[in-house]
Amino acid sequence: MDICKIHENASKCSMNTMECFMVLSTQAQKISIATLCGLFGTLCIFENSLVLYLIFSSPGTRKKPSYLFISSLALADILASIIFVCSFVNFHVFNETDFSKEMFLLQLGGVNTSFSASLSSLLLTALDRYISISRPSEYKLLMTRKRAWIALGMLWVACATIASLPLLGWNCCTLNSTCSELFPFVDDSYLSSWICFIMVMLGCIIYAYAHVLWRARQHVAYMEKRQVQLGKQNTRMRMDVMLAKTLVMVLTVLVLCWSPVLVLMIYSIFAGLSNHLRKVFAFCSTLCLLNSMVNPIIYALRSKELYSSLRMVFSRFRRHLKAPEESPEAESTHKSSMIET
């Protein structure tokens, strides 16, 4: 019989029952999880750090509100990778339980804050593009740099506050209420509220991008009917088709990465989970990390400005590698050897 099902709620708050949440039973499962977390986490940190460097190394990009949102997204994904990989591997692979309830809830709050901030940054990016295509003439007045910073600050504070509620007392140990079957010490009512918060953000992101996609498709249909200025028509149509492809990629990756985790969380609230489903949840959790890895490719590196900055960085790096071969010392040495000959 499952150890998690035979303990009462009060006993679930004991550190002795943490082992029932360690669902990886074989060495192959632990190696698989460690490999996925290591690979996704390393690539995520590298890609998002590169995006931050490209944005803040260029005066033209770091002043634009849209790139501030992408910077926030990259920073949140870096934090999510570091905190999630360290805590997740430490718990599920190394089965470390030598910490207090408060320390575990602090780690869980850090993971929730970073992933929530990542989705919040995606939401602001979606709203930024929604405003730019629905009210283009007023975009610069509506989306100023100051308002962008205020929006980012409010969303980060909101995410940190919501994520810290279990640590502040909204947990099944303090309330003596129903504990979650997926997360130790987490109250089911808090998990339901957090899921609603995430679902609202995802719904707003999907709505904003669906509207942008609809407007782009409308523009393509309009330009197909017009037969004047053929060159501009083709250019604009290529831009709209490229935008449509990007948005389809955004929505597809977002839904594929977050749906399995959210579905299993919702299912755990209304029904009991078997050990097999909890193992599935552990592997599906790495998809959120995969989303953080893919975000810079979709949102940043498809930008012409950042892509050109990236090419400049690589060209400077290649010149730097060639510099020792063409240095004055090497040239003088070569000349002296020629004289001696």
What pLDDT is stored for residue 17 in this prediction?
64
Mean pLDDT of 163-187: 88
Please report the DSSP string for 302-322 in residue order: TSHHHHHHHHHHHHHHHHHHH
pLDDT band at 7 (very low <50, low <70, confident <90, very high): very low
Question: Is residue 334 included in any domain, yes or no?
Answer: no
Query: What would the pLDDT profile of 193-209 be if each residue is shown by its tens digit?
Result: 999 999 998 888 888 88
With respect to residue 14, please indicate whether it lies within any of the assigned structural domains.
no
Question: The tokens 């790096």 sit on which residue?
Answer: 317
243 lies in some domain: yes
Tens-place pLDDT, residues 87-112 = 888 888 887 777 778 888 999 999 99
Amino acid found at 194: W
Task: Give yes or no for a contact between 171 and 185, defined as CB atoms under 8 angstroms apart.
Answer: yes
Establish if 5 belongs to a structural domain.
no
- pLDDT score of 141: 87
Number of domains in the chain: 1
Domain membership of residue 104 (yes or no) is: yes
190 part of a folded domain: yes
The range of the structural domain enclosing residue 269 comes to: 25-307
What is the CATH number for 79?
1.20.1070.10
pLDDT tens-digit readout, 201-244: 888 888 888 888 787 777 666 666 665 554 554 554 455 456 55
Which tens digits make up the pLDDT trace of 253-271?
888 888 999 999 999 888 8
Whether 185 is in a domain gets the answer yes
Of the candidates 15, 1, 33, 3, the one whose C-alpha atom is nearest the C-alpha of residue 181 is 3
Separation CA 306–CA 313 (nearest Å): 10
